[in-house]
Amino acid sequence: MRALTSCIGPWCVARCLSDLLLICHWVCVSVSHSTDFEVHRNWLAITHSLPVSRWYHENTSEWTLDYPPLFAWFELGLSHAARHFDPDMLLVENLNYASPSTVLFQRLSVIFTDLLFIYAARECCRCVQDQKGSRDVLNRPSFVLAVLLLWNFGLLIVDHIHFQYNGFLFGFLLLSVAKHLQRQHLQGALLFSVLLNLKHIYLYVAPAYGVYLLRSYCFTQDNKDGSVSWSSFSPLRLLALGGIVASVCALSFGPFIAMGQLPQVLSRLFPFKRGLCHAYWAPNIWALYNTLDKILATLGVRLKLLQEAGLPRASMTGGLVQEFQHSVLPSVTPSITLVCTLLSILPAVASIWFRPRGARGFLRCLLLCALGSFVFGWHVHEKAILIAILPLSILAVENREDAGIFLVLTTTGHYSLFPLLFTPAELPIKVSLMLLFTIYSFTALRKLYSGRGSLLRPLESVYLLGLVGVAFACEVAFPLSPWQQKLPFLPLLATSVYCSLGVCYSFLRLYASLLRPPGKPKQP
Amino acid sequence: MQTWSLVSMCVLLGIVVRWGVSLNSYSGAGKPPMFGDYEAQRHWQEVTYNLPLQEWYSNTTENDLNYWGLDYPPLTAYHSLVCAYVAKTINPEWVDLHKSRGYESPAHKLFMRATVLVADLLIYIPAVVLYCLYLTDGSTKKKVCTVFCFLLYPGLILIDYGHFQYNGVSLGFALWGVLALGLGWDALGSLAFCLALNYKQMELYHALPFFCYLLGKSVKLGLMGRGLFLLVRIASTVLVTFALCWLPFLSDPGDAMQVVRRIFPVARGLFEDKVANAWCSLNILIKIRSILSSDSQIYISFACTLLAVLPSCVRLLMKPTFWQFKLALVRGIQLIILPLFLKDGLLVPYAVTSLAFLFFSIYLLSALEHCSEEELRLGAFHKLLFCLPKLDLFYISVSAMAGLSVVTVALVPPTHLPDLFPVLVSSTAFLHFLGTFIYFNIVQFSEPPSRKSQKKND
């Protein structure tokens, strides 16, 4: 077996694993799906049955089209294939239609589009430098990265069980990052423009792209001390970039601008009427803020400092997405979150302007933009943590400190996805897959950096062990306890608060690693 | 990477695949009045919980044996009783006498599937892991691959988690028996195998190799000394185990005989549900049923089965090494029951798990190609089938199986041959069985290569 594996590249072994992965996806075909399934079915119906002018006005279903137009074109393409499986799913009136052929088609479409993700993962693995030596295939950084990307627990659940096309979209993101790592900036820019026009949530990381491309691509040279050499500015490159972005946007938005529907499209894409937090609080700073507000309110009522009647009704996690007023602390508006987000990513962006560290510095900045937007953003979905986790995998296999941060962020982030799958039927699968990924990431990264001490600091290890306790309490102990009826939101609250601690901590550590001057010895 | 982490990852993957398959349909779902094996297991929980032990296997007003009467040995009944106690605490409606017939609900399906997974986790999976880690040769990676292939074996997953049965329990016990024998703990091995036998009478297929190996080993140790001591220990272990399992039925010999009659229903005939065996295949050429009477069929079938396994058992008696014992065990008959899966709507899981298994067998087999022909002792095999090189044979058989699977699903059989496809599947399965049977006979009877492990087991 050793002879066999040493002569085939790590990619071949990883490809064998990716075959197994596709097979596992098939196995999940029968698992129950979420509302997102109906969302996408509805979009297939809208794009297939209605003229383009009606796409962003249609609201028969509550799940209106709220992705950019390029995604609508993508759904149109899919709908032509869907016709052969079950034409009834393409009728707009067929709300919540979920015949077996429909489910099969939808799942197949995710599996099929995931091929792009597999290709992107392969490109990323090619960018990772393997040390020369007699290292066994299974211990090479490129192989570890392949498994960490392809078997990412979060992606598996969100795409294949919960149902979305994130694999497809992350394929574009990772491919774009890989192109930048390979110094093919124009291709990277093209891929990112396409991505932005497929799902606008990636605006989170647009500042990183913008500043990096401007600084490191448009300015062809640096001064000797690393600062900007204004004379080396290349208008041609700027024009090329601008041209690429403009043409992709034109392709996507063109027809709607021509029909004068741009304001309508934008209002659908950015629905700020939704609340500060999603029905289930994403583990960000606002979850901690909300909890503090709740605690202060309860204390205030107990200590007779506040009137209970004067407090707004608590339904932050009641399952409905509403606007919410805080009781004690000042209310948070979308503009406040925008300002906080911009302030949080400013140091990172400034860092790659003043001290560019090449493509890996760009990757770090991208991570920080994604994580900053997650921590401070308005109406963030917990799934957005994947935008930070996947690129961090690339850094984790190359740098020891990043590996430690990766372990904390990934385990915490993945655990925060548990409430997405809440039926008892899904419990064994989500626990087994989570354990599988966690065991692999810990053992593989430890092996990669063996001999230089533990990857995790003691406090971090204690925190992660605490996750096990929280998991047990929320999944097993709480449903069987008497508080289940009185305080049904308690497990969600506990999960989100506990995970936000881990996420915010990882954010701070990543910042520290970016802002630390190069060459300074790392703390043990 | 550390062994424990690799093994735990394999086990977790095995659990994911098993649970994924179990979310699909089960045997007899939504098909009154008889439903299927799932309803049979639920019914046994109902019977064992509500009725006194003496009535479990008898036809009474409360217990209609025509509706999925108990036909497995007592250990299955005790297992059903334990599950019934759990079921009662969760939802008494699941085991209400008579009223719960045909009970189907998502929660109940979850419970039943969970019982299969728990049984597997407690009995089958640990046996597989320990067997592959301690009794297979090769590097750690090879052992882990073996664990992986074992756990991903589609046949068992589909039958247990798709169709719905508890084969993992009896196979697990039998594997514990093999493990114990391999480590030299003969009494414990016999105990485990007796438990397997008392769970499902189908384990009788493996009884002869166990018997011959242990007898041969005792004879080799000397019937006047240690051999006799060993024989006595094994015999008493077997008797005590059987006695303990059958204890509640032994108070009345009539009860015990009724159980035996239920377990070995010789009146059912040879062709039950077109399972893969020689008779089904032979029947294509000669209409056996019309030539022979029911009794003669039974005697001839018994005689032929005995003849088929006799050579390997004699060899095992003369040369009781663990290697020979393992070879003899391979004679366990493997049933490919695609039509049964189709009846239960399990085509997708069937395709998926078969594909997974094939992929990994192919990858492992290509590793095997690096072994010398001598190790595989295929020289003699080739002499028999001189026209077909080894690799082509593998791909031919894979293509045949794939082709049959596709054809069975996609095409409708001609009206004058309605059972064409199930019979073809059975015949193909039997041909495969025959092929591997001959191969392993050759392997067992040719000179084994000198191996370090061989000496260790002797």
The complex scores an ipTM of: 0.84
**How confident is the model at residue A242, as a pLDDT?**
93
* Percent of chain A surpassing pLDDT 70: 85
Direct distance between the N- and C-terminal alpha carbons of chain B, in angstroms, rounded to an integer: 32
Q: Profile chain B (458 residues) by mean pLDDT over runs of 10 residues.
A: 88 91 80 83 92 88 84 93 94 88 89 94 94 84 85 83 87 91 90 93 81 85 84 92 91 84 66 48 53 57 65 74 69 40 48 51 44 42 48 60 66 65 63 58 55 36
Tell me whether residues A432 and B145 touch, CB distance under 8 A.
no
Question: Between A396 and B443, whose confidence is greater?
Answer: A396
Query: Which range (A219-233, A395-409, B337-351) has the least confidence?
Result: B337-351
Cβ(A252)–Cβ(A233) under 8 Å?
Answer: no
B21 neighbourhood in chain A, CB within 8 Å:
27
* A425 in B contact zone (CB under 8 Å): yes
pLDDT at residue A319 tops 70: no
Q: What are the angstrom distances between the C-alpha of A354 and each of A177, A229, A238, A509? A: 21, 11, 19, 21
**How confident is the model at residue B434, as a pLDDT?**
59
**How confident is the model at residue B305, as a pLDDT?**
62
SS3 content of chain B, % helix, strand, coil (to 5): 75, 0, 25
pLDDT at residue A100 tops 60: yes
Burial label for B128, CB within 10 Å (0-12, 13-18, 19+), is: buried
Summarised one tens digit per residue, pLDDT across range A16-71 is: 565 566 555 655 555 556 678 888 888 999 899 888 888 888 888 888 888 999 99
Tell me whether residues B20 and A429 touch, CB distance under 8 A.
yes
Summarised one tens digit per residue, pLDDT across range A415-436 is: 999 988 888 888 898 899 999 9
Amino acid occupying residue B425 = V
Work out the average pLDDT over A331-359. 89
Total length of chain B = 458
Tell me whether residues B9 and A439 touch, CB distance under 8 A.
yes
DSSP assignment letter at A479: G
In total, the C-beta contacts within 8 angstroms joining chain A to chain B are 82
Q: Tokens 């990676």, residue?
A: B141
Summarised one tens digit per residue, pLDDT across range A267-297 is: 888 876 666 777 678 899 999 998 888 888 8
Peptide bond into A141 cis (omega under 30): no
> Which token pair is A67?
């992705």
Amino acid occupying residue A299 = L
**How confident is the model at residue B452, as a pLDDT?**
36
Summarised one tens digit per residue, pLDDT across range A439-470 is: 999 999 999 888 778 889 999 999 999 999 99
Instruction: Write the residue in A3, A429, A443 that is nearest to B19 by C-beta.
Output: A429
Instruction: Write the residue in A27, A31, A138 that is nearest to B17 by C-beta.
Output: A27
Question: In degrees rounded to 5, what are phi and psi of residue B390?
Answer: -55, -45
Cβ(A284)–Cβ(A376) under 8 Å?
Answer: yes
**Which of A13, A19, A20, A104 would you mutate first to test chain B, the one with the most B CBs within 10 A?**
A20
Amino acid occupying residue B63 = N
Query: Rounded distance, CA A441 to CA A497, Å?
Result: 24
C-alpha distance from B349 to closest chain A C-alpha (Å): 7
Cβ(A409)–Cβ(A506) under 8 Å?
Answer: yes
Direct distance between the N- and C-terminal alpha carbons of chain A, in angstroms, rounded to an integer: 38
Instruction: Write the residue in B2, B12, B359 that is nearest to A19 by C-beta.
Output: B359
* A14 in B contact zone (CB under 8 Å): no
Query: Rounded distance, CA B90 to CA A485, Å?
Result: 18
Peptide bond into B33 cis (omega under 30): yes
Instruction: Write the residue in B2, B21, B110 that is nearest to A27 by C-beta.
Output: B21
**How confident is the model at residue B301, as a pLDDT?**
59
Residue B158: partners with Cβ closer than 8 Å, 6 or more residues away:
B21, B341, B346, B349, B350, B353
Q: Is A389 helix (H, G, I), strand (E, B) or coil?
A: helix
Burial label for B32, CB within 10 Å (0-12, 13-18, 19+), is: exposed
A424 neighbourhood in chain B, CB within 8 Å:
110
Residue A424: partners with Cβ closer than 8 Å, 6 or more residues away:
B110
- Give me chain A's average pLDDT, please: 84
Query: Rounded distance, CA B377 to CA B310, Å?
Result: 22
pTM score, two decimals?
0.82
Amino acid occupying residue B253 = P
Query: Rounded distance, CA B379 to CA B395, Å?
Result: 19
Beta bridge partners of A222: A228
> Which token pair is B389?
């090189």
Cβ(A28)–Cβ(A160) under 8 Å?
Answer: yes
pLDDT at residue A406 tops 70: yes
Residue A5: band (very low, low, confident or very high) from pLDDT cuts 50, 70, 90: very low
